[in-house]
Amino acid sequence: MGMEAGSPHESFYKEKAEQFTAETGIGVEILGVPHDNMHQQFLSDAVAAGGAHDVLMVDQPWVAEFAANGYLASLDERLSDEDRDDFIEGTLDTVSYEGAVYGLPFLVHNQVMYYRPSLLEAAGYDSPPATWEQYREIAAATTDAAAGTFGTMIPGNRDGEVATRFMSYVQQAGGDIVDENLRPAIENDAALEAFAMMQQIQFEDGSSPEGLHDLSAIQGQFLEGKIAMVAQWPYMWAMATDPEQSKVVDDVAVALDPGNPDQVATTFAWGLGVSASSDDQDAAWEFVHWATSGEVLAAKAIEQLSPVPRVSSMEALAAAEEVSEADRAALAVFGESVARSRTMPMTPAFPQYQTAIAEAVSAVMSGQATPEAALRQAQSQMEQAAG
Amino acid sequence: MERNAPGDAIHLAPRRVAEATRAPAPVRAARHGRRGSLVDRRRRSGMLLTLPALLTLAATALYPLLWTMSLSFQSFSLAVGGEEPAFAGLANYERVLGDAAFWTAIGQTVGYVTVTLTVELLVGLPIALVLHRETRGRKVLRLVVALPLMIAPVVAAMAGKFLFSPGYGLVNEGLAALGIDGPAWFADPWLARAAVLSTNAWLALPFVVLVLLAGLANIPGELREAAVTDGAGRWRILWHITLPLLRPSILIILVIRLADAFRVFDAVYVMTGGGPGSATEVLSTYLYRQMFTRTDFAGGAATSVLFVLVIGICAGAVFLSLRGRRGER
């Protein structure tokens, strides 16, 4: 099985695999693959049909591409109605392509707002922002550039994570990067509004530190206590509340991302799929099914304080005594944020869409292109990718 | 006793010449035969000994190159049960050459290679000249200069990313200590290029310095002494003796580093991702995206062939130009 090396998912499943072997007699070897190499390695293996991995840990953007090319086995006939009903509504869509299921998700999440209540209170605000207007206002009020603290961090690096962030902004402004037929449609008013908000905070207000920020810089600066509000994935909650990793342990809370007016954020998933070139697809399916079962996902949710896509697991999490009130409140926000949002477009061209959007964001935030020109170029690149 | 006149040993009588040449003739013929067979045997054993290396090279370099060239003229689908490979003529090359991003990448790559080689030589030469002198601590300094050779490029790129970070990077901290407000390195096209270039130059500098040191060690000391006796100053010695005699070393550096610099990937991928915008996109990162984001393997093969051609032409031009000048001397 190929999994993201060094991720909490790898360590969890490595620990649990023995239990699966004891129950079924099927041996499991988990091979760690660095995150940046996963797509390339799985793709190369699939093209060669070498069957190096029976089970693949798949990021949602690859699902449509792998399914369309026949690299993932369809799980439609194997998945029972009972199982389908236990997955939270919409979560199976994150691993589906053209109506068929090609994997089972173990994590469906989106970005929420992490903030430091003490900084907001000191600036005269007793609740986190719900709209972009409030977000901009509070970011400015909590900035003290001379002291090295800023209200927020606007992403701008040329990478896929920054592209996903921009997609969330577009959805928050009521738009999307594709139309109802999944054809590229990023040249729209919502995308222009998103750029306007980013530029105002970054350049006009100076409420975001200088530079083109990526996700790891945003995470690092927040955990260092230098930023009042940032958008991040749910996994940061465990880090932010761990004294060994965070300087804001007693001063951190989460809320829905502010909207314009929609408080949403594009959802993404990680799942497990069966490689079409596996010579033992039955055993591979058995592991995938077990690893995403209600019981195992409940254990994962409680251990990692992260949302999982099964109803039964979330109920177990809610009843778990070891989960604190603060953790419970954070988990409720994570769940609500996913419930009110929609997922990324399930098209094989999505990775290319991401590349085009990342280049556009980077060009605008470095002052090399106007939002209109950058969106025009992104639209053209996306249309070329869509064929 | 017959006295030989001067030149007798050379101008021998025809009979004596015939005797002298006739007697040892069979021996000389035999010697030639043995030498010939010895040369043949040596040649054969030499070929046998190098054959494994040649076969390995053919399997790991020649075969992939030929395969890539073959792919570049085909159209095919990567999907399971998809379109069978078919001859596509120059369609893949037309697609690549018609892509504006390819020309951006190629322009930036050639610019990067030119500047990086110039910087490496301009910085490496003074360091090599200093390390060549008999000074205290020379060995320690040589070790320090060679240290970057032991660092993986991707690790150096990660370190570079942190060093040039505007918020907490050591470079801006240093500038702040001097009263200078450090810039956001990766937000400006030229500064981002400078950050990538300096990280790569730092990695390559030890190679440049070590080759130049080896070249300096081969320059006879008498030449410098003679020049000093003739009243030549340091600059004249450097310009008229040291640099011309370092030309073979510089040639080695240029040819090897040129091919190496063309392949720059780690620093760009890790530090800027090709940004801001596409300001640091180079051929390697363009190729990577083409292959693994667009999954355009046939187009990627065409780009690879063009890539090899560009490197070959540039390396060949440098080689011929410096080699020609050496012949002129």
DSSP string, A140-174: HHT-BGGGTBEEE--B-SSSHHHHHHHHHHHHHTT
Chain B residue with Cα closest to A40: B292
- What's the DSSP call for residue A343? B
Please name the member of B81, B292, B295 whose beta carbon is closest to the beta carbon of A70: B81
Give percent of chain B with pLDDT exceeding 70.
87
pLDDT(B89) > 90: yes
Contacting residues for A231 by C-beta, under 8 A, at least 6 apart = A111, A112, A113, A114, A165, A168, A218, A257, A265
**Whole-complex ipTM:** 0.84
The phi and psi torsions of B125 (rounded to 5 degrees) equal -65, -50
Residue A271: strand pairing partners: A58, A105
What pLDDT, in 10s, does the model give residues B218-265?
Answer: 999 888 889 888 888 888 999 999 999 999 999 999 989 998 999 999
Q: Among candidates B193, B329, B322, B214, which has minimal Cα distance to B258?
A: B322
Burial class (CB in 10 A: 0-12, 13-18, 19+), B46: exposed
DSSP string, A40-59: HHHHHHHHHT----SEEEEE
List CB contacts of A222: < 8 A, sequence separation 6 or more: A114, A153, A230, A232, A236, A240, A248
User: Hey, is the C-beta of A39 within 8 angstroms of any chain B C-beta?
Assistant: yes
pLDDT of residue B329: 42
Domain A2-102+268-339 and domain A112-266+344-386, same fold? Reply is yes
DSSP A202: I
Q: How far apart are CA A106 and CA A248, in angstroms?
A: 29
What percentage of chain B carries pLDDT values higher than 90?
60
Q: Which residues of B touch A71 (CB under 8 A)?
A: 80
Q: How close does chain A come to B120, measured CA to CA in Å?
A: 28
B2 pLDDT higher than 60: no
pLDDT of residue B119: 96
User: Per-domain residue ranges for chain B?
Assistant: 14-51, 100-328
Between chain A and chain B, the number of residue pairs with CB atoms below 8 A apart is 89
Q: Classify B246 as helix, strand or coil.
A: coil
Which residue of B lies nearest to A275 if distances are taken between CA atoms? B80
Cα separation, A27 vs B95, whole angstroms: 47
Give the mutation candidate from B78, B271, B290 for the A interface (greatest A CB count, under 10 A): B78
pLDDT tens readout for residues B257-287: 998 999 999 999 999 999 999 999 999 999 9
Q: What is the CATH number of domain A112-266+344-386?
A: 3.40.190.10
Largest CA distance in chain B: 104
What is the pLDDT at residue B35? Answer: 59
Across chain B, mean pLDDT equals: 85
Q: Does the pLDDT of residue B135 top 90, yes or no?
A: no
Given a cut of 70, whether residue B49 has pLDDT beyond it is yes
In terms of pLDDT, which residue wins out, A137 or B18?
A137
What is the predicted pLDDT for the residue at B168? Answer: 77
Nearest to B187 among A159, A210, A351 (CB): A210
**Beta-bridge mates of residue A113:** A231, A255
Segment 225-244 of chain A within 8 Å of chain B by CB: 226
In the CATH scheme, what is the code of domain A2-102+268-339?
A: 3.40.190.10
- Residue B5: pLDDT band with limits 50, 70, 90: very low
Confidence of residue B17 (pLDDT cuts 50, 70, 90): very low
Q: What is the pLDDT of residues B144-203, one digit of tens each?
A: 888 888 899 999 999 999 999 887 789 999 999 999 989 999 999 999 999 999 999 999
B2 DSSP 8-state letter: P
For residue A56, which phi and psi values (nearest 5 degrees)?
-115, 135
A103 with A346: CB under 8 angstroms? no
pLDDT of residue B304: 95
Query: Across the interface, which of A39, A217, A276 has its CB nearest the CB of B165?
Result: A217
A146–chain B nearest CA distance, Å: 13
Instruction: Tell me how far the alpha carbon of residue A216 is from its chain's centroid.
Output: 14
What is the pLDDT confidence band of residue B320, given thresholds at 50, 70 and 90?
confident
pLDDT at residue B27 tops 80: no
Could you read off the pLDDT tens digit of each residue along chain A, which spans 387 residues?
A: 999 998 989 999 999 999 999 999 999 999 999 888 899 899 888 888 878 899 999 999 999 999 999 999 999 999 999 999 999 988 999 999 999 999 999 999 999 999 999 999 999 999 999 999 999 999 999 999 999 999 999 999 999 999 999 999 999 999 999 999 999 999 999 999 999 999 999 999 999 999 999 999 999 999 999 999 999 999 999 999 999 999 999 999 999 999 999 999 999 999 999 999 999 999 999 999 999 999 999 999 999 888 899 999 999 988 898 899 999 999 999 999 999 999 999 999 999 999 999 999 999 999 999 999 999 999 999 999 998
**Both tokens assigned to B27:** 């021996």
Please check whether residue A9 is in contact with residue A107, taking contact to mean a CB–CB distance below 8 angstroms.
Answer: yes
Of residues A47, A157, A217, nearest to B167 (C-beta): A217
Ranges of H-type helices in B238-274:
243-245, 247-262, 266-271
In the CATH hierarchy, which fold is given to the domain comprising B100-328? MetI-like fold (1.10.3720)
Say how far apart CA A73 and CA A288 lie, in whole Å: 12
Taking the CA of residue B86 and the nearest CA in chain A, the distance in Å comes to: 17
SS3 label, residue A267: strand
Bridge-based pairing of strands A268-274 and A55-59 is: antiparallel
Nearest CA in chain B to A209: B167
Greatest distance between any 2 Cα atoms in chain A: 63
DSSP H stretches of helix in chain A: 8-24, 35-48, 60-68, 81-86, 117-122, 132-141, 160-172, 189-199, 215-223, 236-240, 281-291, 294-304, 311-319, 325-339, 350-365, 371-386
pLDDT for A162 equals 95
Question: pLDDT at position B140, please?
Answer: 86
For B278, the closest of A49, A69, A359 (CB atoms) is A359
Nearest to B191 by CA among B275, B282, B117: B275
Give, to the nearest 10 degrees, the angle between helix A8-24 and helix A281-291: 120
Nearest-CA distance B98 → chain A (Å)? 13
A65 interaction partners in chain B (CB closer than 8 Å)? 295
CA dist A276 → A44, B71, B79, B80 (Å): 13, 25, 11, 9
Distance CA A62, CA A68 (A): 10
Cross-strand bridge partners of residue A72 = A275
Residues of chain B in Cβ contact (below 8 Å) with chain A: 78-82, 165-167, 183-189, 272-279, 289, 292-295, 297
Domain edges within chain A: 2-102+268-339, 112-266+344-386
